[in-house]
Amino acid sequence: MSFREKYTVFPMLLPLGSKRRGGSKLDPGVKFLVAHDTGNPRSTARNNVSYFQRSCNEMSASAHLFVDDKEILECIPALTGPPEKAWHVLYNVTTDNQMFGYDANNAAIGVEYCYGSNIQADEAYNKYVWVLAYLCYKFGLDPANKIIGHCFLDPRRKTDPVTGLLQSRRTYDQLLKDVATEFAVCSGLATPGLNITKQAGTVEVTHTLNIRQGQPNTRVPIVQTVPPHARLSYTGWTNDGEKVLNISKWYKNAQGNFFWSGGVV
Ligand SMILES: [Zn+2]
């Protein structure tokens, strides 16, 4: 099995032996992933890693990866080298031990989502979804149950990544679904749980509409862009597609491609 490398993960590693990067390996290997956001609107991936570099001996807080609309930066090795420990969940939190049997800092990769008015939310979200899916592939983790949001581990102190995802008009549940789909798409597996209602018909395009290759979501390639007033025929539809403006119904055409029902009448 191979995985589609849609993006590049750039290493921008913190100094080895600093407070933020002690250099010890994840004891039991990578057992789960923690989804974070930076909690700092408008700070980019590069802003965050640069700050970590400047302050690498001031405190021990860190995370492995930062993702924004432009790049995926790794400052503690996870994908670009043997995974090392980062400090992204307090040790006295016990939910990680209860759920996964380990402290997150000893067994999990921490991935930070960057958001804010200067960051294109959809693009940052796509990269975030992809890198979480890629981590699942790389470490043999089931995307359905090996990703946990920081706010669920430490609900009294944290709201991430729910707060940051809201900037992309997405929920945490949607994130988990999208990562599972991305995992299936990029590893060449079929989309799980896609129910197609077989019934043919035609619709009229209301806004310029993209027809997507093989999957009902905006992360697969566009095969055709259709202007308003064109008529499109379909052979069926699904309500399990990506939710766009709260609409998850997508039509499937005779070629096996999909278009979003919100762009047609
Ligand atoms: Zn966090």
Rounded distance from Cα 247 to ligand 1 centre (Å): 29
Q: Return the higher-pLDDT residue of 144 and 109.
A: 109
Compute the distance from residue 8 Cα to the ligand 1 centre, in Å. 23
Please, which pLDDT band fits residue 190 given cuts at 50, 70 and 90? low
Higher pLDDT, 167 or 49: 49
Using an 8 Å Cβ cutoff, are 125 and 168 in contact? yes
CA distance 212 to 261: 12
CA of 89 to the centre of ligand 1 (A): 7
| pLDDT tens readout for residues 201-253 | 999 999 999 999 888 988 888 999 999 999 999 999 999 898 899 999 999 99
Kindly give the distance from the C-alpha atom of residue 86 to the centroid of ligand 1, in angstroms, as a whole number. Answer: 12
Q: What is the mean pLDDT of residues 124-128?
A: 97
| pLDDT of amino acid 185 | 85
User: What's the 78 CA to ligand 1 centre distance in angstroms?
Assistant: 17
Give the chain's end-to-end CA distance (angstroms, integer): 40
Q: How much is the mean pLDDT over the chain?
A: 94
CA of 53 to the centre of ligand 1 (A): 19
Distance 63 CA to ligand 1 centre (A): 9
Q: What's the average model confidence in pLDDT over 128-133?
A: 98
